[in-house]
Amino acid sequence: MKKIIFFLALTLLPMVGQAQVAKFKSVFTLSFIRHIGWTETAKEGDFVIGVVRDKEIADWMSKLSAGKKFGFQNVVIKQFKSPEEVVDCQVVYVSSNVNFGKHASTIVDKVNGGSTLIITESEGACNSGSMINFVVREDKLKFEIHKANAAKFGLQVSSKLEGMSNAISL
C-alpha cells in the first residue's frame, strides 16, 4: 500500500527541474515492471532495461536498481546511442532525444517477437507503438498506457497501473 501511495504522490508532484524529472521517470520505470504480466521468456536471464540516448535517465536507473533483483533476475541497465543498437531487453526506454515517430518501426522491429515493454516520452508515441508514454499535463509529469500495444508483445498491464495512469488508450 505504501508503494502505491508513493507512486500516486509522484504523479501529482509538480515538475521542479530536469534532474528531478529524470529521477521521477526512473522511479516510475522501475515501478512499472512490477505491474506488468511478463511472459515466461522475459523471466529468463538478467532483467535488462535499455535506455536509448539519455545518459541521465540511465544513470538514475543504475543508481536506483544497484544490487536489486526483479524476482530472481538481476536488474541490468544498458545504454544505447541509437535505436539501431537496441537488442535483448525486457524494457526499452526511448528518450525524447530520439524522434520516436521516425524510429518507431526500427525499435519495434528490433524487439519484435520478444516480450519487450516500450516506454517513451514523446507526444503521440502510443500511436506509433509505445506501450507507456510519459507526458506533461498542467505542469505535472504523468503517463499514458496503450494496452493493445502491450498485448501485441504478450504483455499484460495490471489494473493497478491502469488506474494510476493519466490517459489509457484501449
d(CA 170, CA 167): 10
Q: Cell 521542479 identifies what position?
A: 16
DSSP string over 89-148 = -SEEEE-TTS-HHHHHHHHHHHHTTS--EEEE-STTGGGGT-SEEEEEETTEEEEEEEHH
3-state DSSP percent of the chain in helix, strand and coil, to 5: 45, 25, 30
- Local confidence band at 167 (pLDDT 50, 70, 90 cut-offs): low
- Per the structure, the complete domain to which residue 54 belongs is given by 2-169
DSSP 8-state secondary structure symbol assigned to residue 17 = -
- Tally of structural domains, the chain: 1
Using CA atoms, how far residue 69 sits from 3, 87, 138, in Å, is: 17, 21, 35
Which tens digit of pLDDT belongs to each residue from 3-43?
Answer: 444 444 444 444 446 668 899 899 999 999 999 999 998 99
Q: What is the pLDDT of residue 84?
A: 94
64 band by pLDDT with thresholds 50, 70 and 90? very high
Is beta strand 69-70 parallel, antiparallel or unpaired with respect to 73-80? Answer: antiparallel
pLDDT at res. 142: 87
Assess whether pLDDT exceeds 50 at residue 130.
Answer: yes
**pLDDT attached to residue 170:** 39
Which residues touch 92 (CB under 8 Å, ≥6 apart)?
Answer: 49, 50, 52, 86, 107, 110, 111, 116, 117, 118, 119
Reply yes or no on whether the pLDDT at 66 is more than 60: yes
CATH (domain of 114):
3.40.50.2300
Could you read off the pLDDT of 76-98 as tens digits, one per residue?
999 999 999 999 899 999 999 99
